[in-house]
Amino acid sequence: MSQFISAIRNNVKYWWLYLLNGIIFLIAGCIVFSNPFSSYVLLSIFFSVTLFVTGIFEIAFAVGNRKVHSGWGWSLASGIIDLVVGFILMLYPSVSMAVIPLFLAFWFLFKGISLIGFSIQLQTDKVPNWGWLLVGGIGLIIISIFILDNPALGIATVLGLMAAAFWGTGILSIIFAFRLKHVKKELKEHGL
């Protein structure tokens, strides 16, 4: 049995962190979509706090699985990056408002690559529905390239893309959380 499945079997009591993370991203997408222009300042602050909290959750998940999951370092790196960037943006909200499209583009690029890595690991371990994470990762990379290539399109376009990316990230995080919970339950039922 692979180390990834062993991590699920032994220590995926933290599946709910991905669920909570997904819910936070869905809320962020709704806020952005319902008030695109007036929410830019709020989005800047909310995004900073969300990144910070997401970093904490990812670090907790990585550390909790470090003994049984060989790829825990990627989750830890992702969490540390989210934590540091979120903290910096919370300290300087005016800077985050000015450069948030670029930060988001690079963050979506990193998240897309992370999702693709997770999907490949799930596919290697023959976990069903791994393709959704792959599609989500590719989608986030496409969005990041679009933002980087067209920064002059304006804040409204970037906010629309951010709302869509937040929703996509939230949905994929929730799917991943329930998939982890389901696999854990299946392994427990089979006595593994």
Q: Is the pTM of this model over 0.75?
A: no
H/E stretch holding 149: helix 130-149
Distance between CA atoms of residues 68 and 86, nearest Å: 28
Pair of tokens at residue 102: 């670029």
Query: Cα(127)–Cα(130) distance, rounded to whole angstroms?
Result: 6
User: Of all residues in the chain, what percent carry a pLDDT higher than 90?
Assistant: 9
Residue given tokens 């299946």 in the structure block: 186
pLDDT in tens, 126-168: 878 788 888 989 998 998 888 788 765 556 666 777 788 889 8
Query: In the block, which residue shows the tokens 């995080």?
Result: 173
